[in-house]
């Protein structure tokens, strides 16, 4: 999951670029070969009630292959999720249901559906195809003393997006995303996202995401810990049989 977001917003620094050129740099920027972390996700609804999930995630191939083991809440301990993205067919998603002792394949064809009840939809978590969007560069701005490029990103029809527009603030120094606002089909502000990054090896790796659905007054805070990159995760890990047991490391 972390890799998805990382892919969207980490960019190289080039002065005098057009919106498209900045986005292209983001797209072409090198990303870790593999990534593992512990993820804590806190969902808070409009009445201030919260739900917390914790999971262990391992991914490779630019996050196209990802396996997640749930460790919290207690009810969900043992549940595991495997996703393998394909370019030419629907993604494969499998889930281990320990109480039924069954693996079930699942599908969500709706890009706007939320991931685990969070404010991040599958579309938010997936990489944006460079040529499926139009990019307009707006006036640069400072966000919390960070000098940023500001891009207006408009999805083209082929993107089949649930949004009509995004405004992204991208740090000039380090070229990581600082914040983003996404607008729904009616052109109304739907989500506000803010990101915190840390530098690991030669990558800017995401440390925290805060997303607020301003219409539903619901928010999600995702914190990543024990982050490791390029550890040489075995490709064989991304198999159904590995869903049933939580790795020791």
By CB under 8 A, residue 89 contacts other proteins: no
By CB under 8 A, residue 51 contacts other proteins: yes
By CB under 8 A, residue 15 contacts other proteins: no
Q: Which helix (H) or strand (E) holds 155?
A: strand 146-155
By CB under 8 A, residue 107 contacts other proteins: yes
For residues 117 and 247, which CB has a smaller minimum distance to other proteins in the complex?
117
Q: How many residues comprise the chain? A: 249
β-strand partners of 201: none
For residues 98 and 174, which CB has a smaller minimum distance to other proteins in the complex?
98
By CB under 8 A, residue 79 contacts other proteins: yes
Q: Among 89, 186, 201, 241, which residue interacts with other proteins (rule: CB under 8 A)?
A: 186
What's the burial of 143, exposed, middle or buried (CB within 10 Å: 0-12/13-18/19+)?
A: middle
By CB under 8 A, residue 45 contacts other proteins: yes
DSSP string, 32-46: -SEEEEEEEEEEE-T
Minimum gap (Å) between residue 131 Cβ and other proteins: 24
Residue 219 CA to residue 4 CA, distance in Å, equals: 19
Minimum gap (Å) between residue 83 Cβ and other proteins: 10
Parallel, antiparallel, or unpaired for β 177-183 and 165-171? antiparallel
Determine the interface stretch with other proteins among 15-23, 24-32, 115-123, 201-209 (rule: CB under 8 A): 115-123
What's the burial of 46, exposed, middle or buried (CB within 10 Å: 0-12/13-18/19+)?
A: exposed
Residues making contact with other proteins (CB under 8 A): 45, 47, 49, 51, 70, 75-76, 79, 81, 93, 95, 97-100, 102-110, 113-117, 186, 216
């Amino acid at each position: 999951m972390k890799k998805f977001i990382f892919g969207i917003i980490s960019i190289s620094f080039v002065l005098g670029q057009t919106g498209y050129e900045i986005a292209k740099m983001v797209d072409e920027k090198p990303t870790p070969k593999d990534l593992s972390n512990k993820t804590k996700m806190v969902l808070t609804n409009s009445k201030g009630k919260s739900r917390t999930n914790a999971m262990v995630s391992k991914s490779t191939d630019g996050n196209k292959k990802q396996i997640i083991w749930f460790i919290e809440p207690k009810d969900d301990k043992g549940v595991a999720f495997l996703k393998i993205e394909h370019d030419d067919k629907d993604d494969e998603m499998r889930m281990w249901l320990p109480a039924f002792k069954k693996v079930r394949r699942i599908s969500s064809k709706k890009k706007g559906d939320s991931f685990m009840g969070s404010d991040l939809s599958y579309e938010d978590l997936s990489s944006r195809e460079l040529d499926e969007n139009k990019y307009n560069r707006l006036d640069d701005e400072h966000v919390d003393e960070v000098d940023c490029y500001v891009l207006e990103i408009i999805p083209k029809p082929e993107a089949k997006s649930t949004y009509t527009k995004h405004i992204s603030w991208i740090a000039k120094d380090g070229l990581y995303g600082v914040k983003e606002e996404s607008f729904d089909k009616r052109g109304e502000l739907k989500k506000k996202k803010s990101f915190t990054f840390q530098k690991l090896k030669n990558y800017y790796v995401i440390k925290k995401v805060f997303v607020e659905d301003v219409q539903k007054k619901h928010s999600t805070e995702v914190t990543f810990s024990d982050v490791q990159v390029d550890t040489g995760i075995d490709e064989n890990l991304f198999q159904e049989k590995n869903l049933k047991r939580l790795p020791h490391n």
